[in-house]
Amino acid sequence: MKAGGVKIIPGVISIAVTLLIWFAVPVPDGVSADAWHLLALFVGTVVAIIGKVMPIGALAIIAITLVALTGVTNDSPAKAIKDALSGFSNSLIWLIGVAIMISRGLAKTGLGNRIGYYFISLFGKKTVGIGYALAISELVIAPVTPSNTARGGGIIHPIMKSIASSFGSSPEQGTSKKIGHYLALVNYHINPITSAMFITATAPNPLIVKLIADATGAQISISWTTWALAALLPGLICIALVPLVVYAIYPPEVKSTPDARTFAKTKLAEMGPMSFGEKVMIAVFAMLLVLWAGVPAMIFGPALAVNTTAVAFLGLAVLLISGVLTWEDVLKEKSAWDTVVWFSALVMMATFLNKLGLVHWFSTVVQSGIQGFGFGWEVSALILVATYFYVHYFFASTTAHITAMFAAFYAAGLALGAPPLYLALLLAGASSLMMSLTHYATGTSPIIFGSGYVSMEDWWIMGFIMSVVNLAVWAIVGGVWWKILGYW
C-alpha cells in the first residue's frame, strides 16, 4: 500500500522505531543524549532502507534534513547543516560516483559485450568452460564497474541468457537444467567475489575504507593497491572454485558445448571491428588501473603519486573530451548521482556516530558478549565475522548492513585483540561475499533469480554452500597471504 511515493506500512514502522529509540528507550550509561538521538535517526533510516519505504536517495535527503533540524551533531543551526552536508566532501564517495559514470562507456560502446563473447569464444567448448568465460569477463571489468548490479545483472547476465537460449535452455520451455540453471548460478556467484576484490568493484567498499580509517584514527587507510593485492589470491581461488563447485552440486545436462564458441564468434562478427569508442575505453581502462595501482609513483618516486579520486575524474575527462561519453550521458547516469547522495548521508551519519562515541559503546557490548566465551582472538574473530556475515539473511541491502554493523563489529574485533589489518581485510571481504546467501541479498540477485532459471530452494542451498567455501578461503588462504605480505 502506497501514499504518493511512500510505502505506508514500512514507513510507519521506520517512524515508530525512530520515536521508540528517541523517547522510550532510556539512554544507556556512557552514551550522550545526542549520540542516542542520532542513533534513533540512523536506525530509522536503515529500517526505511530495508523496507524500501522510498528510493534510497530520497531517504538520504530526509536523513540529512533531520540531522540538520534536530541539531544532534551541533547546537548551532549553521554548524548542524554543515555537519549534515559534510559527507559530500568525502573523496571516496566521488570516486564511486565518477567510476559509475565511466562504466556507462562499457555499455554504450559495447566493449562489455565484446569482452564476454571474446572469452566464450576461447573457453566455450565445455559448459564449465563457458562458466569460466563468464567469470573472467566479470573479473576483467570489475575494477571499473562500481555497480555490481550493472556488472553482473546488466552486462554479464544478458550474455549468459543468450548462450543458454542458443542451446534451447529456457524456463519457459522447462529446459533450464540443460545449461541455463548452471550458468545462472555461476553468473551470480562470481559477482560477490569480484565485488570483494577491488575498492571500485561495488559501491559500499569505499564506505568500509572510511569506517576502518575512523575506527583506527587513520592509522589504517587502505589504498586501492593494498585492497587489490590483498584480495588477489583468495579472490582468484574463489573464482576458480565457483564453476567447479556449482558443477559438482548442480551439474548441467549439456556438458559439451562446441556450438558456444561458434555462437560467440558469430556475435563478435556481427559487432564488427573494434570501434573508436571501444579503443578509447580500453586506453582509459588501462590508464585507470596503472594510476590506481600507483605504478608511476613506484617507478619514478612519490612526486608522481596521484589521488585515487583524481584519477577517476581524469578518466571521465578523457571520455568527455574524446566524445565517447557526452555530458548528457553523464547527467543521465542516475545511479551515479543517486549513489553520491545516499552515500553522503550514510557516511555522514556513521562518522558522527563514531565521533559521538556510540560506536565505541556498542563495540564494547559486542566485545563483552564474545569475550564471555573465553576464546583467544583467533576464534573470537571468526565468531565475530561469521555473525556479521550470516546476519545478512535479514538484509536486502549490503549498504544498509555495512552501515548498520561494520564499524561496531570492527571495533569489537580490535578490542578482542585481532590484528587490525587482518580483521579489516576479513570483514571487508565478508561484506561482499555475504551477497551469495539469498535471492534478495543485493541488486544483482533479483535480476538473475527473476530470469527464472533457478528455483528458490536451489538458490539458497547453493548460496549457503558458496558462503562456507568463500569465507573459508578468505579466512585461511587470505590470512596466510596477508601474513606473507606483512599485513599482520
What pLDDT band is residue 444 in, cutting at 50, 70 and 90? Answer: confident
The yes-or-no verdict on residue 290 having pLDDT over 90 is: no
The single residue listed with the C-alpha cell 540538520 is: 68
The stretch 375-401 carries a mean pLDDT of 87
Grid cell 542451498 is found at 461
CA atoms of 223 and 212, how far apart (whole Å): 12
Distance CA 40, CA 19 (A): 7
Closest to 133 measured CA to CA, from 263, 249, 227: 263
pLDDT tens digits along 306-335: 888 898 899 999 999 999 999 999 999 888
Q: Dig out the grid coordinates for 290 from the structure.
A: 596503472
Q: How far is CA 7 from CA 49, 52, 274, in A?
A: 11, 7, 46
The whole-number average pLDDT for the span 437-464 is: 89
Res 96 pLDDT > 80: no
pLDDT for residue 368: 85
Confidence of residue 49 (pLDDT cuts 50, 70, 90): confident
pLDDT in tens, 159-194: 888 888 888 888 989 999 999 999 999 999 999 999
pLDDT over threshold 80, residue 123? yes
DSSP code at position 177: G
Tell me what the mean pLDDT of segment 374-378 comes to. 88
Is 243 a residue whose pLDDT tops 80?
yes
- What pTM value is reported for the model? 0.77
- Residue-wise pLDDT for 6-38, tens only, equals 899 999 999 999 999 999 999 998 899 999 999
Cell of 29: 550509561
Share of the chain above pLDDT 90, in %: 52
For 66-82, write each residue's pLDDT tens digit: 999 999 999 999 999 99
Percentage helix, strand, coil for the chain under 3-state DSSP, each rounded to 5 = 75, 0, 20
**What 3-state class would DSSP assign to 454?**
coil
- Which of 165, 188, 167, 135 is closest to 254 using CA atoms? 167
User: Cα(210)–Cα(221) distance, rounded to whole angstroms?
Assistant: 8
Task: Identify the residue with better confidence: 95 or 396.
Answer: 95
Q: Is the pLDDT of residue 152 over 90?
A: no
395 pLDDT more than 80: no
Higher pLDDT, 452 or 3: 452
DSSP per-residue codes, 116-135: HHHHHHHHTTBHHHHHHHHH
Average pLDDT over residues 226-240: 97
* Residue-averaged pLDDT of the chain: 90
Tell me what the mean pLDDT of segment 77-88 comes to. Answer: 95
Nearest to residue 226, comparing CAs of 162, 293, 181?
293
pLDDT (average), residues 102-111: 85
Cα separation, 96 vs 85, in Å, equals 18
Largest CA distance in the chain: 70
Report whether pLDDT(213) > 80.
yes
Joined together, the cell numbers standing for residue 21 give 529509540
pLDDT of residue 138: 92
Q: pLDDT category, 293, cuts 50, 70, 90?
A: confident
When pLDDT is averaged across residues 374-395 and rounded to a whole number, the result is 89
Q: How far apart are CA 94 and CA 103, in angstroms?
A: 14
Please give the pLDDT value at position 269.
Answer: 94
**385: confidence class by pLDDT, cuts 50, 70, 90:** very high
How many residues does this entry show for the chain? 488
pLDDT at 263: 86
pLDDT (tens digit, 9 = 90+) per residue, 327-374?
999 999 888 898 889 878 887 887 888 789 887 788 788 888 888 888
- Tell me the pLDDT band of 50, cut-offs 50, 70 and 90: confident
Mean pLDDT for 118-142 is: 91
Exposure letters 376-394 (e unless 16+ CB within 10 A, then b): ebeebbebbbeebbeebee
